[in-house]
Copies of this chain bind each other. A is one copy, B any other.
């Protein structure tokens, strides 16, 4: 969020001089405008008094006065220790009656248009939910250009199959094979591509019939369609906790009741799942058995069997999101859950080409029992009719030529090496071994992490009760970024986690990124110590959490 764009002070302009505007009123007006225009969505966080004052180079009391004014009309709310948030899009006049912020804005109201549209009252419940969630995830703006990112999870451009794709497009158009590329494909996807995906899945021990397969515009659409077909208001959806941000968002947008089951190194905990299933009538269990997002955990064979048995016993379908199943770096490749005996009628499986190949094609697939597939296909048509033909046809040819296997082998090697470099450099700079009279030993563990056997992510952890979100501010100042783990939790707030994606930059950049992280950690811990000594000098009451 670029606050200098949002809060524009005109202290030097003649206009404002004439109006005799107080600085605090300019801040109030800017923030009202930003809320009205949607730049500041519901629940977005405002800078602290100190931050905004320093940014605008004005006195903190001016900011306080502006925030007080905004609080009084109900637009924002401050929580001690948590910060200040946008609470409402609608202004409440001080006499108590609600009044739309849009309606009172000076931007509208010419005599020809007596009733500007008041949109704030129009949005659906789903929209309120999604908007609030998306605004949490909004990436920090104002990052330096040379910021190194461990955030997100996007494969790197250098491995995109562009040369092959160029040749394929040329060949196909040259051969006059254009109808397939530019007309509607069937709702279920291009017939030849489906054949290729079925072959590809057969190599992973999955037997899939044509009527059980649907090509989708990336896994996110897969999630959206499964939600549409199965999830009603108040349905219980069980997810790993933590889980994939956009899956959580989509299920919440359906007003599902999400129940998070903790994940350990063997995947979702089956003892907890069983307890949940005993107590709750659930609609769906959403899991990522291979290299889970965000923890990187792989579900053990025993857990897989337990999961299938529980699903069958309690009659709750499993939605397997196999987003990075192909990206194995250590140990043998495990077949998908859907390939287990007896899983066909109980598992909806999905995969994608976005992570192992390239994301811009927006191509993935869903596998489901035929009677479910009828519903998913109908949902697909209602959602966007069909998937982009050009991307499907080009990818199909690429698969037919057998190029994907080579590609997978190549990126597996490269990503494995990147993971190795990340872990090695973390060991070196974040947990350095020092030598003293007693011999070698490690310094204080400021960050711990687990090493995944595949996928995209290293899941790391600060010492208990420290906030990765706060640490992120230090990291970004040093020119490095990551995804704070709190985005991924559905249950108890666990602020100390961070997710590091290791596939999207080369090895040298990873090394430099870790050095910056280490530097940021030092600064962060120095402030933590200062804050702690201050806190102990104060009193025993107040929050247990260390807030920087």
Chain A 376-387 interface 0/1 with B at a Cβ cutoff of 8 Å (1 = within): 011101111111
Instruction: Return the contact of A162 from the options B114, B181, B391 (Cβ within 8 A).
Output: B181
Which residue of chain B is the closest to A358 with respect to CB atoms?
B182
Is A513 in contact with chain B by the CB < 8 A criterion? no
A249 / chain B contacts, CB cutoff of 8 Å: 381-382
Is A548 in contact with chain B by the CB < 8 A criterion? no
**Pairwise interchain contact B124-A229, C-beta atoms closer than 8 A:** yes
Is A525 in contact with chain B by the CB < 8 A criterion? no
Interface residues of A in 223-260 (CB under 8 A from B): 224, 228-233, 235, 246, 249-250, 253
Chain A 145-181 interface 0/1 with B at a Cβ cutoff of 8 Å (1 = within): 0000000001001001111011001100110001101
**Pairwise interchain contact A228-B124, C-beta atoms closer than 8 A:** yes
A118 / chain B contacts, CB cutoff of 8 Å: 315
Best-surrounded residue of A228, A253, A382 (most CB of chain B within 10 A): A382
Chain A 93-121 interface 0/1 with B at a Cβ cutoff of 8 Å (1 = within): 00000000010000010001111111110
Given contacts A224-B384, A384-B224, contact A232 B124 (CB under 8 A): yes
**Pairwise interchain contact B220-A385, C-beta atoms closer than 8 A:** yes
Interface secondary structure of A, over-half rule: helix
Smallest beta-carbon distance A383→chain B, Å: 5
Given contacts A182-B361, A230-B122, contact A253 B131 (CB under 8 A): no
In the bound assembly, the distance between CA atoms of A179 and B125 in angstroms comes to: 36
Smallest beta-carbon distance A347→chain B, Å: 9
Instruction: Return the contact of A117 from the options B122, B178, B182, B312 (Cβ within 8 A).
Output: B312
**Pairwise interchain contact A108-B345, C-beta atoms closer than 8 A:** yes
Which residue of chain B is the closest to A360 with respect to CB atoms?
B389
Is A127 in contact with chain B by the CB < 8 A criterion? yes
Smallest beta-carbon distance A481→chain B, Å: 17
Copies of this chain, complex-wide, total 2
**Pairwise interchain contact B134-A370, C-beta atoms closer than 8 A:** no
A174 / chain B contacts, CB cutoff of 8 Å: 166
In the bound assembly, the distance between CA atoms of A370 and B120 in angstroms comes to: 12
Interface residues of A in 1-58 (CB under 8 A from B): 36-39, 41
A173 / chain B contacts, CB cutoff of 8 Å: 162-163, 165-166
Given contacts A162-B173, A361-B182, contact A230 B123 (CB under 8 A): yes
Is A373 in contact with chain B by the CB < 8 A criterion? yes
**Pairwise interchain contact A224-B382, C-beta atoms closer than 8 A:** yes
Is A346 in contact with chain B by the CB < 8 A criterion? yes
Smallest beta-carbon distance A530→chain B, Å: 39
A114 / chain B contacts, CB cutoff of 8 Å: 312
Given contacts A373-B38, A391-B391, contact A130 B382 (CB under 8 A): yes
Is A375 in contact with chain B by the CB < 8 A criterion? yes
Is A539 in contact with chain B by the CB < 8 A criterion? no
**Pairwise interchain contact A119-B371, C-beta atoms closer than 8 A:** yes
Having A37-B371, A162-B173, A249-B382, one finds 15 other A-B pairs with CB under 8 Å, namely A113-B312, A124-B229, A131-B375, A154-B183, A157-B178, A160-B179, A162-B178, A165-B169, A169-B169, A183-B359, A220-B385, A224-B382, A246-B385, A362-B384, A388-B391
A contact set with B: CB distance below 8 Å? 36-39, 41, 102, 108, 112-120, 122-127, 130-131, 133-135, 154, 157, 160-163, 165-166, 169-170, 173-174, 178-179, 181-185, 211, 217-218, 220-221, 224, 228-233, 235, 246, 249-250, 253, 283, 311-313, 315, 317, 342, 345-346, 358-362, 369-375, 377-379, 381-391, 394
